[in-house]
Amino acid sequence: MSHNSTLKHAEAAAQFINDEPRTNWHDETLWFVRQKRDKAAHGLPEWEQLREWASQIKNHTLSNLDNYLKEFESKAQDNGVIVHWAADAEEHNKIIYDIIAHHKIKKIVKSKSMLTEECGLNEFLHTKGIETVDTDLGERIVQFRNEPPSHIVLPAIHLKKQDVSDTFHEHLNTEKGNNDPQYLTEAARQHLREKFIESELAITGVNFAVAETGGFVVCTNEGNADMGAHAAKIHIACMGFEKMIPKAEHLSVFLRLLARSATGQPITTYSSHFHKPREGQEMHIVIVDNGRSRQLGRADFRNSLKCIRCAACFNTCPVYRRSGGHSYHTAVAGPIGSILNPNIDMRANADLPFASTLCGSCSNVCPVKIDIHDQLWKWRQVLVAEGYVDTTKKVGLKGMAFLLARPGLYRFAGKMGRGIMRFFPWIVNNKLNPWYKQREMPAPPKQSFRDWYLQNKKQ
Amino acid sequence: MNVGLFIPCYIDQFYPNVGIATLQLLEKLGCKVGFPLNQTCCGQPMANSGFASLSKSCDKNFVSNFRGFDYIVGPSGSCVLHLKEHLHDEQHPGEAEHIRKHVYELTEFLVDVLKVEKLNASFPYKVGLHNSCHGQRGLHLSSMSERNLPAFSKPQQLLSMVKGLELKMPSRPDECCGFGGTFCVFEEAVSVKMGKDRIADHANNDVQYITGGDTSCLMHLEGILKRNGSKVKTIHIAEILNSNA
């Protein structure tokens, strides 16, 4: 589903928070996931070492990506896999459409792939009259509701069980008002079984692509990638080119980090290793750039491509927990999305690096040690330099910089404006002072510290 | 030891008592403290908003005020972190570097440089500690809940030396309060919600005061507390450590 909303993060977040009990529930649910992550991470004495290894393996891979990609391609081809290269989302979608059209396919299942969300594959195929069934339970729920996922690991985390019940009542004919999770899950299971059995083509994502073997690993908790890939006669796996790791042995680092960081599980229920098509099956891999080589060329932001999509940074982010994934209006939300998306479209996503207090918790939980909050800061500098911020903000901050570079003027402004806080121009430039909406101003003191010092301390 | 007192702009203008407490505390502990009279701001509000390019003159003013001190000490983790990471002066690179390496947040200066082991202070109240993100995660004033590393806390170590003080930690010991510089106005709804949630966590412990090392976080929390008519007060850690026995 694409995000049609033109709302910026701050406005969308304000709408989300309007329902405060629901915001509290969202915050607490994700905080619970963060705590599960802490337990799993703190239970491993070698945790920090694993993060360091993962970071170094990814850094090394990104520095030698051309070679590893070629090695992967040739090994995969030796295994009988058809390898495609897509420069952008459009090419990715066209490659998949051509395979579908060539085989005159009607029934398609798809397990979770944030890349296909990024490329808008479902909508593209829809315009061609082809329907794709998302088989991850959370993704199926949001697909029924014609909504995008709000979280890359927990796509329907913004919904409560009564929402799911209403959705299933409408689409799967379940009893109205029956909110029993067991009952609802069973209904989804029966529905999806049918789709798996009927399907002619399965699309999956890729968590790790191994250069030395040409194989790839898909991690799920529901086994839906396997169900799809094993039942259909064609399997297409889509991957961003940063999914590469050099050797199979490196999985021993990444698989230990991924699920612990994501949900606090020691490992995902299914870690499925695909190497070659079974007899009579056709297997494709689509390797996608879509702006990644541009990001690789940005010295300050290249290591954002180390990301293994665990979403630990979402769960820990105090802003994400209180604004919901849809407020980020992109396929990948949260802190990592806020450093990836400006690369894809700077104008449309200029608000995202500012949707953070720079608290740094994201960088601390990141299993591959991406300096997320530092990159948020750096994106702010780039966005201002490229002219993607509001004029009022610019005028206010320019005025402030002018004032603060001139000690005499600073003191004069302080004396004049202390009482009404004119001192902070970003506040006075907004007609409806956002500070005062829900907060009192600090009571103005009689004198500044400097005045006190001159009166009491100066020799 | 010759210490330059750095009083961030909003403390100078709105919270002079924090500056006074910091100065008195450092003098009590034997420091020779100078207060350069032409100081203004560290430049952080511009830089964190993406306008680091505009803070050059601010940086220059800072360097010309604070060169020549053995140490520079300020009661704000956030401003100190900004200086450590971003203070530059093309004309005086050596002096800027000296400042970057010798600028300290108050509690880290007390613990790491002065190696304070006892304080003649008394504050007989139930106090909640707010760990400010930049002090904690940026300056490593205390261990962080995300990391798998040994636990420590410089502010807690100092508060434990204060007579009568009963320290209460919130259930989320290092969640951001939502101030975030200009974030507090540009993302007003999220900012206030984060602040309300921090306050609720402290209120569960029945605290009388919320303290911390950053006046900016405290100003934000105080604004919400006052609006809601709460009896809980905010107080900078310098004021507690300087409180008379």
Structural element, H or E, at residue A414: helix A407-417
Cβ pair A222, A137 in contact under 8 A: yes
CA distance B182 to A396: 11
pLDDT score, position A420: 43
Question: C-alpha dihedral over A103, A104, A109, A114, to 10 degrees?
Answer: 70
CB-based contact B180 A358, cutoff 8 Å = yes
Quick one: tokens of A390? 């509001």
Quick one: tokens of B88? 């530059």
**DSSP string computed for A284-328:** EEEEE-TTHHHHHT-TTTGGGGG-----HHHHH-HHHHHH-GGGG
Phi, psi at A164, each rounded to 5°: -65, -40
CA-to-CA dists, residue B143 to A131, A457, B152, angstroms? 51, 37, 5
CA distance A368 to A363: 9
The one-letter amino acid code at A434 reads P
Q: Which residue among A47, A359, A452 sits closest to B133, beta carbon to beta carbon?
A: A359
Closest chain B residue by Cα to residue A46: B148
ipTM of the complex: 0.96
CB-based contact B193 A42, cutoff 8 Å = no
CB neighbour list of residue B4: distance below 8 Å, 6 or more residues apart: B33, B34, B35, B36, B65, B66, B68, B69, B71, B72, B73
Low-confidence spans in chain B with pLDDT less than 70: 245
Burial classification of residue A201, based on how many CB atoms lie within 10 Å of its CB (0-12 exposed, 13-18 middle, 19 or more buried): buried
Cβ pair A429, A435 in contact under 8 A: no
Cβ pair B179, B141 in contact under 8 A: no
Quick one: tokens of A362? 């994201």
Residue A133 CA, chain-centre distance (Å), reads 21
CA distance B19 to A448: 9
DSSP 8-state code for residue B75: S
Domains, in order of start, for chain A: 9-293 (3.40.50.10420), 392-456 (no CATH)
* SS3 per residue for B39-58: CCCCCHHHHHCCCHHHHHHH
Express each pLDDT in A105-137 by its tens digit.
Answer: 999 999 989 999 999 999 999 999 999 999 999
Q: How many CB atoms lie within 10 A of CB A302?
A: 18
Flag whether residue B175 sits within 8 Å of chain A, measured between CB atoms: yes
Cβ pair A245, A65 in contact under 8 A: no
Closest CA–CA distance from residue B225 to any residue of chain A (Å): 8
Closest chain B residue by Cα to residue A409: B40
Q: List, in sequence order, the alpha helices (H) in A173-235.
A: 181-198, 224-231
A217's torsion region: left (phi>0), alpha (psi -120 to 50) or beta?
Answer: beta
pLDDT score, position A442: 86
Quick one: tokens of B230? 């709460």
CB neighbour list of residue B6: distance below 8 Å, 6 or more residues apart: B39, B42, B66, B72, B73, B74, B79, B80, B103
DSSP 8-state code for residue A4: -
Query: A50: which chain B residues are within 8 Å (Cβ-Cβ)?
Result: none
Name the one residue in this structure whose structure tokens are 């909303």: A5
Closest CA–CA distance from residue B120 to any residue of chain A (Å): 22
Closest CA–CA distance from residue B177 to any residue of chain A (Å): 9
A264's torsion region: left (phi>0), alpha (psi -120 to 50) or beta?
Answer: left
Nearest CA among B219, B196, B182 for reference residue B75: B219
Terminal alpha carbon distance of chain A: 70
pLDDT score, position A3: 54
Query: A437: which chain B residues are within 8 Å (Cβ-Cβ)?
Result: 188, 192
Query: A31: which chain B residues are within 8 Å (Cβ-Cβ)?
Result: 172
DSSP 8-state code for residue B138: I
Window 58-87 of B, Cβ < 8 Å to A: 58, 60-61
One digit per residue, the tens of pLDDT, for chain A of length 459 reads 445 457 999 999 999 999 999 999 999 999 999 999 999 999 999 999 999 999 999 999 999 999 999 999 999 999 999 999 999 999 999 999 999 999 999 999 999 899 999 999 999 999 999 999 999 999 999 999 999 999 999 999 999 999 999 999 999 999 999 999 999 999 999 999 999 999 999 999 999 999 999 999 999 999 999 999 999 999 999 999 999 999 999 999 999 999 999 999 999 999 999 999 999 999 999 999 999 999 999 999 999 999 999 999 999 999 999 999 999 999 999 999 999 999 999 999 999 999 999 999 999 999 999 999 999 999 999 999 999 988 777 777 787 788 788 888 888 777 765 544 445 544 544 556 788 889 988 888 889 999 999 999 865
CA-to-CA dists, residue B157 to B115, B126, B241, angstroms? 11, 16, 11
Closest chain B residue by Cα to residue A459: B34
CB-based contact A437 B145, cutoff 8 Å = no
Closest CA–CA distance from residue B160 to any residue of chain A (Å): 26
CA-to-CA dists, residue A8 to A31, A323, B194, angstroms? 25, 12, 19
Closest CA–CA distance from residue A137 to any residue of chain B (Å): 29
pLDDT score, position A458: 67
Nearest CA among B104, B86, B78, B88 for reference residue B181: B78
CA-to-CA dists, residue A163 to A14, A125, A170, A177, angstroms? 21, 27, 11, 10
The one-letter amino acid code at B50 reads G
Helix (H, G, I), strand (E, B) or coil at B19: helix
